[in-house]
Structure 1
Amino acid sequence: MPYHFAMLAALLALAAGTFAFRLVGPLLWARVALPPRAEDLLKTAAIVLLAALVATASLTTGHGAAGIARPAGVVVGGLLAARKAPFLLVVLAAAATTALLRLAHVN
């Protein structure tokens, strides 16, 4: 029983912390003025962080490389997204590309 209580307490603490972080942003946005250079850097940092997340998720699996099929699907989805294709088409084309390459044993 103490294990479940500790787990619940940790879950509630993390939920409260997440809520507090999300609440502080809009509350302080009007009070804190950042220099234009810092705002540009934050925007760039968000893009770089998202690109790193996509690269890590698409190029690796476990402790090794993901092979060719998954990155190929990501590239197809990225190209369609860059051409402003509908989101459903982007997702289906990326999934189909990955599935067909795996079906052809191009791992």
Structure 2
Amino acid sequence: MSPPVQGAALWWLILGLVVVTAVIKAAGPVALGGRDLPAWFGRVIALMAAALLAALVVTSTFADGQRWSVGAHTVGVALAGVLLWRGRSLVLAVAVAVTVTALLRALT
């Protein structure tokens, strides 16, 4: 595992990320030049948010550093997902996920 970025290198990294973000955000308006998008394109863009959220949830659930793993947190998230799928409240799902994860971590 590589050491964390520190000092001036950290600020250069942040500056680089700012520049890349600005270029990405400017690419759309520059490429389209004020033209209207087709209707199908708007629907695709709307679906991308859900796909990105799903990818972030899967990554944070199964990632353990640089490896994929299944552990207590995975079981807690899975149970919360089942509860939400069955129509239970979000507060109950979070409480069950936290409790189950804590109990499994205490046992192992």
Deviations, residues 58-85 of structure 1 (Å, cap 9, x unaligned): 0111134143x11111111122233151
1:65 paired to 2:66: no
- Given the two structures, how large is their TM-score scaled by the length of structure 2? 0.60
After superposition, residues 27-106 of structure 1 pair within 5 angstroms as 33-62=36-65, 63-67=67-71, 69-82=72-85, 83-86=87-90, 88-105=91-108
**How many equivalent residue pairs?**
99
C-alpha RMSD of the superposition: 3.5
Structure 2 residue matching 1:90: 3-state secondary structure = helix
Task: After the TM superposition, list the runs of 4 or more consecutive aligned residues in structure 1 that deviate by more than 6 angstroms.
Answer: 4-15
Highest RCO, 1 vs 2 (Cα 8 Å, sep ≥ 6)? 1
In structure 2, distance between residues paired with 1:65 and 1:9: 32
**Long gaps (5+) in structure 2:** 1-6
In structure 2, distance between residues paired with 1:84 and 1:43: 26
* 2:61 partner letter: S
In structure 2, distance between residues paired with 1:12 and 1:58: 29
In structure 2, distance between residues paired with 1:47 and 1:103: 34
Identity of aligned residues (%): 32
* 2:37 partner letter: L
The 1:7/1:64 distance shift into structure 2, 3 A limit, reads closer
Structure 2 residue matching 1:33: 3-state secondary structure = coil
**Long gaps (5+) in structure 1:** none
